[in-house]
Amino acid sequence: MNLQDAYVPDTGISAENVAFYRDFGYLVAPSLFSNEEIDELRQEASRIFRGQRGSVEGLVPVSDKESDEEVLKKYVAIHFPHKISPVVKKYLSHTGILDILARTVSPNLKCMQSMLFIKAPGKAGQSWHQDEYYIPTRDTSLVGAWIAIDDATIENGCLWIIPGSHKPAYIRKRIPNSSPEYADVDTVDVSGFPEESFVPVEVSRGTVVFFNGYTLHSSLRNKTSDHFRMALVNHYMSAESMLPWDQDGNLPPTADLRDVVLVRGEDPYGYKGIQDLNRPFLRPEILDIRKE
């Protein structure tokens, strides 16, 4: 594995990058977002959690005397912020992201989810998981685009990835979680992987990490006292595939969820129309989603 091929150059995605993504299930695109774009996302995050972008169940009233940092420390994450934020929705179609996805996934792309993670000092991380476990697709095209709004380090809880873990393309066994590093009640059993294969993905703000829906990834607790690790994560897939997703049982069962945003190319299922079903919601401190 040549780790250098994991990094997308400023000149754009290369054939070596495409091969690396196919073989190892992730890519890193440094500085894909400008400082100005990241500043806009950070400011928008404060507006969202101050309730300035609309009502979300669980948001608490905010005093004008509270700093943005004090407000953000109250929360873990919000799902579907693009439903209420024009800024977040705009960045679903970020050209830099779509250019990479067009080479690694499909020239026809749709987005079904956005998630804004706060990861304040002291907050726990996410256990080992595969996004495909939560968002089922028919063609293994699911990919997460993880946009670093803050520098992400081992100390403040950066992503960890197991390269190549996507290759079997099946949902791996989950077991109860006993680690205080994670907020989840369960985790994928990674005992079959040597620990030296776990790769920390430390990145600077503006970097985007792409990972396949079957790639095992996690993050540890933010052990700093004064550094956030904020990130916006958007999930995409090929528009050619249907999406049999009931949003963890919150929506009626379906063969093809049409609450999606076409972000590039053509939608073969456009004749079905688009629905507005998902609503923004706050992620609980402890995540307990059991699908079996």
The per-residue pLDDT for 190 is 96
**Residue 255 carries which side chain, given as an amino acid letter?**
A
Nearest one of 263, 291, 282 to 89, comparing CA atoms: 263
Domains of the chain: residue spans and CATH: 3-282 (2.60.120.620)
Contact 127, 182 (CB under 8 A): yes
The pLDDT of residue 286: 63
Q: Model pTM greater than 0.75?
A: yes
Mean pLDDT of the chain: 95
Look at residue 3 in the predicted model and tell me its pLDDT.
Answer: 79
Please determine, for residue 262, whether its predicted confidence score (pLDDT) is greater than 80: yes
pLDDT band of residue 242 (cuts 50, 70, 90) is very high
Q: What are phi and psi of 75, to 5 degrees?
A: -130, 160
User: Distance (Å, rounded) from C-alpha 54 to C-alpha 85?
Assistant: 9
Indicate whether 226 pLDDT > 80.
Answer: yes
pLDDT, mean of residues 107-124:
97
User: Tell me: the pLDDT tens digits for 63-96?
Assistant: 889 999 999 999 999 999 999 999 999 999 999 9
* Beta-ladder partners of 209: 28, 146
